[in-house]
Amino acid sequence: MPSPEIHGIKRLVFITILVSMSILVFCCIELVLRIFNVGSPPSLYHVVRVRGDEYIDINNNYMQRFYRSKSRAGPNPIDYFFKKDDPHEYRIFVIGESSSLGYPFPVTAAFPFQLEQMLKQTDYAEKRIRVYNFSMTAISAYIGLDMSRDLVGLHPDLAILYFGHNEFTGIGGSQFLRNPLNKLKVAMNRLFLFQTMELLIINLLQNDTPRNLFTELSTGSRIPYKGNLYDKTLTRFSQTYSRIIQTFTAAHIPVITCGVVGNEKDMPPFQSEMRIDSAQRIHLLQSIETTPHRTFSAIKNLARNDAGAFFDAARVLLRSDNLDLARQCFKEARDLDPFRVRASSDINEGIKDISRKHQCPYIDFQKEIEEIAETGVVGNRFLVEHVHPTIETHTFMARKLTELICNDILSIPFHDEYGEIEPMVSLVDLVNSCEVLLELFTDFPYKDHDYFNAHALNTIFDTNSPLFKKLYQENNIALLFERADSIAHPTINKKALRKIIDLFLKHRNLAKVHCAYGAHLMTQNQLHRAYLEYIIASKQAPGYPVPLNNMAVLAWNAGLTEESLSIFDFMNLRFPDFTQGCENYYLAAKRSGMNRAAAQLEEHLKRSGVDPTRIRHMSIVDY
């Protein structure tokens, strides 16, 4: 009979073989998944090689490493650009959250895009200025630090940071990092096998209808003012924000920091950590009305820590024209709200202190906008809800950044006319933004608090219309858009609105609606407006060749040969297998005497089964 020692050795050998085989099987599966690209690498971008040059292609699945759901969360689409430091290009990288992304408007409305348009008007002639917007929805500075480590290797000349609103409840915020499983998941998501398993589980367990990402992240959020988690969040944010700055400055890249903007005047607190009773509230408001020049400490003694009471007191003070005291009460209401989907004032104070420590130029956008607000408090006129700027506010922010960059970074004079640009936004984008906002306002947490911003929706609708009010109260967004031409704002072209809504119902894709509406405008001989639709579509969906093709054809027909050929060449670089684009480029190259390019395109078309001799006219891709 074998001795116990032999049994022990056999058992150890068996376990060793079993573990080794398991590891080997795991490695083989992981290798196969990577060979067939069934997963996503952890970096923010891929390097692609085209025509012997290396280009940067943004990894659309980057955010799945941190947060995977059926709600849309990912990088802002950016088209190919050179990996190497281009000596003819001055690169500005904007890294931030959905406010700097432009939500709910297109990226062409956001302040980074408008900043590029303004800087192109300056006297800076050394290089062409390009602004790359790497902002993403719902991310915190924790994600921003990871991004900065990737981006510093792309040699930007300047970095602009816009973080602060998502530090409590966003992806990588304190609520997120509080769960140790999330930290483990971030580490494990580097493995393709883990990504595949996680995606299968999500598809099995989640409802087919994706929730609003804001609703998904903020549900259950409650962080008391000056509590333990609140203080830890501020400490972590300061450390992380400092490390982002250090990542860039260590590579001798200057950084501009931005204080974030929050709606105080028209956005009531979502929650309150404590509530005074109705009798105490009545006493508070009556005491303010009878003695409007009470001190803030006296109001604080009566309101205690009731965020809603401070907000009501602020409104009474505003009606009494006691603006300074009203501003203090609005700020206190915002800070006391434990439902932390807006940055507290401590976040902006922290950014200011960090900027001073690292000697970075700093713009306090909350203060800048307060100075142009009639009451000195930021409200619905400047933000579409709690944190996202209106198009006009984006223009204002871009102008302030242009002024700072001209004076402090480029050392060139700033002129007022630089800020006088027309934002690149069409009626298609306004319809889309209104749909996004209506869905937001009729969901948690806005619906529970009866929050509604008529100013943001008046870009399309007559919000005073009885029919609009009725359908909105019924949450009947579909019928509201179906009847949009009868409840449109007086300034809106109802025929155009009807056409755009019909296109949305047909395509349900913003870039395709832009292209389809552009084709419609061409039939109306509105070529300039059609070109605008194609430009916006190309910025919103750089992985889609149709807008570039149509822009190039329009430019060619307008006699802009050099511009047309430049667009065709980039389209061919980006989408060499887009046959219709190749056909158009072949004709343009042939007619402009580019014989070598025409010969290469001819060979490519023949290999694709197309007879170049039968190509007679350039064509727009229609829907």
Q: Would you tell me which CATH number, out of the four given (1.10.3470, 3.30.1360, 1.10.10, 3.40.50), belongs to the domain 74-261+385-419?
A: 3.40.50
The per-residue pLDDT for 241 is: 98
**pLDDT > 80? residue 221:** no
**What's the confidence (pLDDT) of residue 208?**
53
pLDDT, residue 487, reads 93
User: Element (H or E) spanning 468, and its range?
Assistant: helix 466-473
Supply the pLDDT for residue 71.
Answer: 54
Give tens-digit pLDDT for 330-372: 999 999 999 998 999 999 999 999 999 999 999 999 999 999 9
Closest to 210 (Cα-Cα) out of 480, 439, 532? 439
Q: Element (H or E) spanning 12, and its range? A: helix 4-35
| Mean pLDDT, residues 33-55 | 82
Residue type, 129: I
Indicate where the chain has its CATH 1.25.40.10 domain(s).
Answer: 427-614
Task: Report which secondary-structure segment, H or E, holds 313.
Answer: helix 307-319
- The angle, 0 to 180 degrees and rounded to 10, between the axes of the packed helices 228-249 and 345-358 is 30
Q: What was the pLDDT predicted at 601?
A: 95
- Measure the CA–CA gap between 561 and 557, rounded to whole angstroms: 8
Among 266, 248, 271, 62, which Cα is nearest to 168's?
Answer: 271
Q: What is the pTM of this model?
A: 0.91
> Is 418's pLDDT higher than 90?
no
Q: How confident is the model at residue 200 (pLDDT cuts 50, 70, 90)?
A: confident
Tell me, what's the pLDDT at 33?
A: 79
pLDDT tens, 278-312? Answer: 888 888 888 888 876 778 898 888 888 899 999 99
pLDDT at 211 over 60: no
Which is the CATH superfamily of the domain at 427-614? Tetratricopeptide repeat domain (1.25.40.10)
Give pLDDT, residue 7. 66
Rounded Cα distance, 439 and 447, in Å: 10
What does the alpha-carbon distance between residue 188 and residue 195 come to, in Å, rounded to a whole number? 8
Per-residue pLDDT at 550: 96
Span(s) in the chain for CATH 3.40.50: 74-261+385-419
pLDDT of 196 > 80? The answer is no
Residue 280 neighbours by CB under 8 Å, 6+ apart: 302, 309
pLDDT digits (tens, 9 = 90+) for 157-177: 999 999 999 999 889 998 888
In the predicted model, what is the mean pLDDT of the chain? 90
Q: What is the structure's pLDDT at 424?
A: 94
